[in-house]
């Protein structure tokens, strides 16, 4: 078994033993994943949370937040305002695309010290928005430290579609990478309603093992927001609050929205 697989398996096992059913997810959730001339502005919420359970965690101002379109980067960190997401500190902003195209929104957080797992967590999180029907370049890697490259167009999909992605670390595929998947019931969370109840802790975070090229697939059983987290061990350490060198979990996070399938007579 390759060392990167062993490290990821150990991290996942430790996470399950210390906090069953509550995986950490970096989150970048826009109000829509498509914008039009009629509604050109999108609102984005940034957080570090347990999406399925609807439990938030306080997040420091991100180290970086920006959008990328056709390889061009626009810095947005200074425009972030503090807000509350799932009852804890998160960040928000409104953004209005100027031209048609695919806009990737990327968050690099401050390292998060997780004492229960005795490591730091850094989740490079991204989501895509199609502006004015633009759909070019959605499968291009963005050059992040680690990322999930979609092999299914990340917008214009229905609940029940199968998402396919490839895990990259330092620009190279990660054989056997572990990928956690969680559903985020945004509408219920915003309305303060009861979150979904899973049949067991194992149902909260679905787990996939990528193939030898870092490619994985997952069929999303419902419409809404789905988060994919590919977890691997960093090749560097960070000092904990007591000054001890600790390992770092690197997460490649991608959020995808699936629309309800239209049915005759159903309300739109």
Instruction: Name which of 92, 113, 106 is nearest 24 in CA terms.
Output: 113
3-state helix, strand, coil in the chain (%, to 5): 10, 45, 45
CA pair distance 243, 257, nearest whole angstrom = 41
Q: Which of 95, 96, 148 is nearest to 125 (CA)?
A: 148
Q: Would you say 185 and 258 are in contact if contact means Cβ atoms under 8 Å apart?
A: no
User: What distances in angstroms separate CA 1 from CA 92, 93, 178, 259, one per listed residue?
Assistant: 42, 43, 13, 39
Per-residue pLDDT of the chain (268 residues; tens, 9 = 90+): 344 444 444 444 344 333 444 688 999 999 999 999 999 999 999 999 999 988 899 999 999 999 999 999 999 999 999 999 999 999 999 999 999 999 999 999 999 999 999 999 999 999 999 999 999 999 999 999 999 999 999 999 999 999 999 999 999 999 999 999 999 987 666 666 666 788 998 999 999 999 999 999 999 999 999 999 999 999 999 999 999 999 999 999 999 999 999 877 665 5
Q: Are 214 and 244 in contact (CB under 8 A)?
A: no
Q: What is the pLDDT of residue 266?
A: 61
Residue 48 near residue 26 (C-beta atoms within 8 A): yes
Cβ–Cβ < 8 Å for 260, 200: no
pLDDT, residue 194, reads: 63
* pLDDT, tens only, 225-235: 999 999 999 99
Q: Report yes or no: 34 and 211 within 8 Å, Cβ to Cβ.
A: no
pLDDT on residue 9: 43
Mapping DSSP to helix (H, G, I), strand (E, B) and coil, where does residue 186 land? helix
Distance CA 24, CA 123 (A): 9
pLDDT of residue 42: 97
pLDDT at 264: 75
For the entire predicted model, the pTM comes to: 0.88
Extract the runs of DSSP E, i.e. beta strands, from 70-223.
72-75, 81-85, 88-95, 101-108, 112-114, 119-131, 146-150, 162-169, 172-173, 178-184, 206-209, 215-219
Running DSSP on this structure, what letter comes out for residue 168? E
Cα 160 from Cα 149, distance rounded (Å): 20
Compute the residue count for the chain: 268
pLDDT in tens, 22-68: 688 999 999 999 999 999 999 999 999 999 988 899 999 999 999 99
């Amino acid at each position: 078994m390759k060392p990167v697989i062993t490290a990821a398996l150990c991290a996942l096992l430790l996470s399950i033993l210390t906090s069953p059913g509550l995986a950490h997810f970096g989150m970048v959730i826009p109000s829509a994943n498509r914008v039009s001339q009629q509604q050109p502005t999108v609102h984005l919420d940034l957080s570090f949370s347990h999406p399925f359970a609807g439990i938030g965690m306080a997040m420091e101002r991100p180290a970086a937040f920006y959008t990328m379109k056709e390889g061009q980067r626009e810095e947005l960190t200074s425009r972030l305002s503090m807000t509350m997401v799932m009852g804890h500190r998160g960040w928000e902003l409104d953004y209005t695309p100027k031209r048609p195209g695919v806009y990737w929104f990327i968050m690099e957080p401050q390292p998060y010290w997780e004492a229960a797992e005795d490591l730091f967590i850094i989740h490079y999180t991204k989501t895509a928005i199609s502006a004015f029907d633009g759909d070019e370049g959605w499968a291009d890697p963005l050059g992040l430290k680690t990322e999930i490259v979609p092999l299914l167009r990340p917008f214009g999909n229905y609940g029940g579609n199968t998402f396919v992605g490839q895990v990259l670390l330092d620009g190279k595929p990660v054989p056997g990478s572990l990928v956690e998947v969680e559903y985020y019931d945004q509408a219920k969370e915003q309305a303060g309603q009861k979150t979904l109840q899973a049949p067991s802790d194992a149902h909260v975070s679905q787990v996939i093992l990528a193939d030898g090229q870092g490619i994985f697939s997952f069929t999303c059983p419902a419409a809404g927001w789905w988060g994919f987290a590919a977890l691997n061990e960093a090749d560097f350490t960070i000092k904990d609050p007591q000054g001890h060198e600790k390992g770092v979990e690197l997460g490649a996070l991608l959020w995808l929205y699936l629309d309800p399938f239209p049915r005759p007579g159903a309300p739109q």
